[in-house]
Structure 1
Amino acid sequence: MNRYKTFAERIKNIDIWTFVSIGLLLLFGLFLCYPLLKIVRQAFFSSEGNFTFANFLQFFSQKYYFATLVNSFKVGIFVTFFSLLIGIPLAYFYCFFPLQGKKILYILCILCSMSAPFIGAYSWILLLGRNGMITKLFSAFGMTLGSIYGFHGIVLVQSLKLFPLVFIYMIGAFKNIDNSLLEASENLGISGIRCFFNLTLMLTMPTILAASLLVFMRSFSDFGVPLLIGEGYRTFTVEIYNQYLNEMGGNNNFAAAISVIAILITAAVFLFQKTIARKFGFTINSMHSIVAKKTVCSVNVFAHIFSYAVVALAFLPQIYVIAASFRNMKNQVMLPGYSLNNYKGAVSKGAFRYMGNTLKVGGLALFLILLFAILIAYLVVRRKRTVNNMIDTLSMIPYIIPGSVVGIAMIMAFNTKPIILTGTVTIMIVSVVIRRMPYTIRSSVAILQQIPMSIEEASINLGASKMKTFWGITVPMMSGGVISGAIMSWVAIITELSSAIILYSNKTMTLTLAVYTNIVRGTEGIATAYATMLMLLTMISIAVYMFVSKDGEISV
């Protein structure tokens, strides 16, 4: 009897949100689970259709392939180390020292972190490549610089790209430290560098671990930087791309096997991060905010020099690309004088169409991301059900999977009937929605957890329906967190390369792809023009967000 009663109660509790949950689950099943299952299935079959482990054995038994995995781990570890080495002191000086121009430093770090990684790589080629400006300058004095290509170049570019993530994370952690703890430490005779290592770093260790694993995952999954400047130094994600291109005419099984290995590795790193966070995480109740210290003049000067030098070095490539876009260029050679020839060439080759595609794909994708993120956040926070927890977990899977793997999975899933999407705008939109939605979901969940449920209950008690309350009360209150995540998603969408390079057709070419294809073709003048357009679009997006937001800060 109780069983029938329980079933009847469940039927009675079905409402519009139940159908929303089912709809979202079906969408994730079709556009995420199905492609991933397709790629997993293909990894365990030979080209003749027989079940086999040969694809995996080939990867681990041949040094050529296994070396790419070792190389990616090596790059990830070094990039993480240097990002921490730069980001932690920079955040410490930012929070604890009376730095001049703090707002400028923060904005420049945000711009560095949100620019397309491969544009940074391309910029350093223009500066330190074989025909680079700095290379030529040193050659004029009979000096030779080390090559920007290979392992050292990848580490340099990725470190300068990813240290701002550590910087932004650590600012939040330092601001949460109770200043009375630091004052007590000084009263006990522990101050300066001893206080920094023995107390300050220990209090922020959970954040340091979280930032470290985030940087490592982004470095490991990065595609554009090693593709442009790796040359003979082969990395894992580039090998996935190369194998897929090599197999396009026939057997895709080996490419699928490498993709599965990538999924397992990134999933293991993600689970390790979660375990570490649970085990070592703790909460600091900050009653007294930290205040900038009055320091010895020499220390204060060093803090200023270090902060501005690091940020200037990170931002230098972007400035140089903008300047180079006005230089006269023929293929890869810079000629005397300045002009608008690069922009004229870019326009004649389809700049407006590429910009239109970028805005169309980005705009439609962002609309869907906002819609789904708001709905998922509400289901996760307000309607705690097993199915909603499943949706939350599914939404985070693309966050840990390299973009090239997502692109290959989409091709394998939607290249044949009953659903054929390859070469269309739809598959580009689906890919970036799946890949970039986690940013907005997490920020939406965070803001909704801070909103008292009593406000919504009061609205319903006054006669408003659940959906009217949701759209009229809840969503407006969530807007701050939603917009913060949306700007992260938007910038990631318009600078997407790793999945787009596999999925695009000539009709769906975006600015990011136009930059890359022109670099590969050697028409670097036009590439600099496209890169400048893309950077300006990114800068305008961030500037608009900072203008309309209350504090002008972005969470990562």
Structure 2
Amino acid sequence: MKFTKNGKFTIWNVTTLIILVIFLLFIAFPLFLVLKKSMINPTTGGITFEYLGKFFERKYYWITILNSFKVTVVTTFLSVVLGLPLAYMMRKIKIKGSKLIEVLVIISYISPPFIGAYAWIQVLGHSGVVTKFLNNTFGTNFEGIYGFSGIVLVLTLQSFPLIYIYIAGALKNLDNSLNEAAESLGYSSFQRIYKIIIPLIIPTMLASALLVFMRVIADFGTPMLIGEGYRTIPVLIYTQFMSEVGGNEGFAAALCVVFIVVTLVLFLFQRIVANHFSYSMSALKPMKVEKSTGIKNILAHGFVYIIVFLAILPQLVVTFTSFLETKGGQVYTGNFSLENYRNIFLAKDTAVIWNTYKMGLMAIVIIVVLGVLISYLTVRKKNIITSILDTVSMFPFIIPGSVLGISFIFAFSDKPIVLSGTVFIMIMSFAIRRMPYTIRSSTAIISQISPSIEEAAISLGASETKAFRRVLVPMMMPGVMAGAIMSWITVISELSSSIILYTSNTQTLTVSIYTEVIRGNYGNASAYSAILTVTSILSLMLFFKLTGKREVSV
């Protein structure tokens, strides 16, 4: 179908331009304002590097970069140390309850890290159960897990499942004949692992480690809750922006620019590493799960069970404590009660729960519609404009949530476009942040569908748009819907941008959990966390039902 008589523009050209305008408005424009505010003197209107200089001149500020890197490097290393052997044992040794274990690992991965931080506060905080036991029983002066060690503990237990998921997938494609050949040459089990298996999965290990690195360095909730003076750059950005609203916005913008540069460098490094080490494996003879005996079997089961238990412990803690009676909101009496649920369903406005579902579903609709269209345009309608669209649409992948939230405040708080405080700006922040993941998965699906199928429909009299709607979209839908469910889980768990953009009318579950913890209302926080956890688990079960498998791809 043509939009003009001369045929210069088709409906796909117009669609491309409309989507490009949307991304320029909600990505390029806000980021441009962040850069502008970081380099423009509000008094003189001239260019200044005062704000950037302020960051690098004072140790109080630039130390946050080092702190963030320290936390991220240690967390990434420990995630590999846990995820690699766990994946290998699950693929090589017959572990009792392996199917349940895989589900639990995935649940621990999809849960928000700040819920883990809050749960560990109840276990190993100043007044945590284990902290009290250690201090009362052994007379120690253990202060809890706050600071660097606590941040690393929480983020490692929440990040290693990502390593596990990637490496487990790679091991499925590993040809076991190579391993058997090494065994026939006299290699021990340990030698086969580090000389054969690890070198073959290095590309996957590096790719997953870099994803963990980028995810951890941008995390806001965990260091904010248990950092206790150990400042990371996301926390610094949040605290500086919230204290300087209505005052000097330039410094907050300068912090955002520094953070964007850091994440951009990491993203480019990831792409270079991925391209350099990229190769494919075909498992003509896949690894087989073998039953083990003796001490090896005991150690393997012990390692798997302990690691998975620690990973899923936060969900168990928040669910259990949500049914405990509290005194003053902070002290648990030890009696079971539905008090916490009465507080959030009867004494409080339940709008935060419905806001989460309503805005999450609206964001998913936008993500699916735009994601499918962008994937189709970039795969089937390649030209300069779709190439630009493809590049711009991937920007949110490297923009931390806190930066996106601040950039939206800069862009949409004044005329001509005033969106701050509205439901729409929350929905768009969710959609923009999660869009790249849907685009990537949809692109992979379209690439696997032969263009000849659409051509056959057109040859039978269908228009190009009708072939897209009636042939291609139905073929894509199962994969797209499965991806939409995983996007939904991450959307309802979003905190870093929501904490900046929300108002009393747009508050979500994640914001409510965070604010209740800050106020010391642990009982209410547990109840909210349990609702979010149950929602995520039910969504995951629906994903398994649609895909017919017990694994996720990321």
| TM-score, normalised by the number of residues in structure 2 | 0.96
Query: What letter corresponds to residue 339 of structure 1 in structure 2?
Result: S
The aligned counterpart of 2:14 is: 19
Task: Tell me whether 1:535 sits opposite 2:533 in the alignment.
Answer: yes
CA distance in 1, matches of 2:5, 2:119: 59
Could you tell me how far 1:51 is from its partner in structure 2? 1.3
Q: Which consecutive unaligned segments of at least 5 residues does structure 1 have?
A: 1-8
The aligned counterpart of 1:348 is: 346
The aligned counterpart of 2:334 is: 336
Task: Tell me whether 1:523 sits opposite 2:517 in the alignment.
Answer: no
CA distance in 1, matches of 2:197, 2:139: 43
Could you tell me how far 1:493 is from its partner in structure 2? 0.8
Could you tell me how far 1:553 is from its partner in structure 2? 2.1
Task: Tell me whether 1:32 sits opposite 2:17 in the alignment.
Answer: no
The aligned counterpart of 2:41 is: 46
Which shifted more, 370-379 or 542-551? Answer: 542-551
Could you tell me how far 1:283 is from its partner in structure 2? 1.6
Task: Tell me whether 1:151 sits opposite 2:151 in the alignment.
Answer: no
Are 1:439 and 1:488, in contact at CA under 8 Å, matched by a contact in 2?
A: no
Task: Tell me whether 1:261 sits opposite 2:258 in the alignment.
Answer: yes
Task: Tell me whether 1:445 sits opposite 2:440 in the alignment.
Answer: no
CA distance in 2, matches of 1:181, 1:264: 42
Are 1:362 and 1:490, in contact at CA under 8 Å, matched by a contact in 2?
A: yes
SS of 1:328 mapped into structure 2: strand
CA distance in 2, matches of 1:228, 1:137: 22
Could you tell me how far 1:146 is from its partner in structure 2? 5.2
Q: CA separation of 1:99/1:67 partners in 2, compared to 1, >3 Å: closer, same or farther?
A: same
Query: What letter corresponds to residue 202 of structure 2 in structure 1?
Result: M
Paired residues for 1:17-416 under 5 Å: 17-48=12-43, 49-144=45-140, 145=142, 147-329=144-326, 330-350=328-348, 352-416=350-414
Are 1:442 and 1:485, in contact at CA under 8 Å, matched by a contact in 2?
A: no
Deviations 1:176-222 (Å, cap 9, x if unpaired)?
A: 11122222222222241101000101000111110111011011000
CA distance in 1, matches of 2:383, 2:139: 66
Correspondence for 1:487 among 472, 481, 485:
485
Which shifted more, 46-55 or 164-173? Answer: 46-55
Are 1:327 and 1:337, in contact at CA under 8 Å, matched by a contact in 2?
A: yes
CA distance in 2, matches of 1:285, 1:318: 37
Question: Once the two structures are aligned, what percentage of the paired residues are identical?
Answer: 45
CA distance in 1, matches of 2:5, 2:52: 46
CA distance in 1, matches of 2:348, 2:371: 33
Could you tell me how far 1:467 is from its partner in structure 2? 1.5
SS of 2:550 mapped into structure 1: coil
CA distance in 1, matches of 2:107, 2:292: 29
Which shifted more, 139-148 or 120-129? Answer: 139-148
Could you tell me how far 1:139 is from its partner in structure 2? 2.3
Query: What letter corresponds to residue 86 of structure 2 in structure 1?
Result: L
Could you tell me how far 1:11 is from its partner in structure 2? 6.0
CA distance in 2, matches of 1:553, 1:471: 29
Could you tell me how far 1:331 is from its partner in structure 2? 2.4
Q: Which consecutive unaligned segments of at least 5 residues does structure 2 have?
A: none
CA distance in 2, matches of 1:12, 1:175: 50
Number of residues of Structure 1 aligned to a counterpart in Structure 2: 548
Query: What letter corresponds to residue 241 of structure 1 in structure 2?
Result: Y
SS of 1:507 mapped into structure 2: coil
Could you tell me how far 1:290 is from its partner in structure 2? 1.7
Are 1:97 and 1:292, in contact at CA under 8 Å, matched by a contact in 2?
A: yes
Query: What letter corresponds to residue 277 of structure 2 in structure 1?
Result: F
The aligned counterpart of 2:415 is: 417
Q: CA separation of 1:317/1:413 partners in 2, compared to 1, >3 Å: closer, same or farther?
A: same
Could you tell me how far 1:133 is from its partner in structure 2? 0.9
The aligned counterpart of 1:514 is: 512
SS of 2:505 mapped into structure 1: helix
The aligned counterpart of 1:496 is: 494
CA distance in 2, matches of 1:188, 1:448: 44
Could you tell me how far 1:464 is from its partner in structure 2? 1.3
SS of 1:464 mapped into structure 2: coil
Could you tell me how far 1:297 is from its partner in structure 2? 2.8
SS of 1:141 mapped into structure 2: helix
CA distance in 2, matches of 1:373, 1:100: 40
Are 1:440 and 1:488, in contact at CA under 8 Å, matched by a contact in 2?
A: no
CA distance in 2, matches of 1:521, 1:365: 29
CA distance in 1, matches of 2:123, 2:29: 44
Query: What letter corresponds to residue 218 of structure 2 in structure 1?
Result: S
Could you tell me how far 1:392 is from its partner in structure 2? 1.5
SS of 2:247 mapped into structure 1: coil
Q: CA separation of 1:141/1:11 partners in 2, compared to 1, >3 Å: closer, same or farther?
A: farther
Are 2:108 and 2:312, in contact at CA under 8 Å, matched by a contact in 1?
A: yes
CA distance in 1, matches of 2:244, 2:5: 50
Are 2:241 and 2:252, in contact at CA under 8 Å, matched by a contact in 1?
A: yes
| TM-score, normalised by the number of residues in structure 1 | 0.96
SS of 1:508 mapped into structure 2: coil
SS of 1:225 mapped into structure 2: helix
Are 2:125 and 2:143, in contact at CA under 8 Å, matched by a contact in 1?
A: no
CA distance in 1, matches of 2:81, 2:182: 24
Could you tell me how far 1:379 is from its partner in structure 2? 1.1
Query: What letter corresponds to residue 56 of structure 1 in structure 2?
Result: L
